[in-house]
Amino acid sequence: SHFSHAKWCLRRWNGDSYYVQVPKPSSLASVITYSVGAAGKPMAADTVEFAGGVHYNNHPTSKTIGHWIMGYGYASSGSTSYFADPVGGSSAVPWSGPVAKTFSYSSSSFTSRFLQSNGVAY
């Protein structure tokens, strides 16, 4: 499953064995402030960007993209979230050119635009 892969990646990164899965979270701000701020651990977001719709971090709008990214920080009490995007700088993805390795996004907009098909693990 998608979440099994995310938990495996997070365990590899942190050496931990316990993570929570939240499909369709209501608030990324509460997740990222808890995970990064209180627990001191990154969180994983299982995003979906639909062709012709809003995309993040210079991903091509002509494609539907299902993509895991890592949330590693936040600002303004969680109203802005910071992410690491594995496509940034990758030679394995043909459209990686304009994609940054890290980016920030409004937590509330990110939640409603990209996290309602799958969810998060933290």
Q: Which residue has the tokens 């499909």?
A: 23
At 20 the pLDDT is 82
Per the structure block, which two tokens stand in for 78?
A: 């969680």
Q: Cα dihedral sign for 2, 47, 78, 25?
A: negative
pLDDT digits (tens, 9 = 90+) for 51-110: 999 999 999 999 999 999 999 999 999 999 999 999 999 999 999 999 999 999 999 999
Name the phi and psi angles at 13, rounded to 5. Answer: -70, -45
**SS3 state of residue 68:** strand
Give the predicted TM-score (pTM) of the model.
Answer: 0.86
DSSP single-letter state for residue 59: -
At 13 the pLDDT is 54
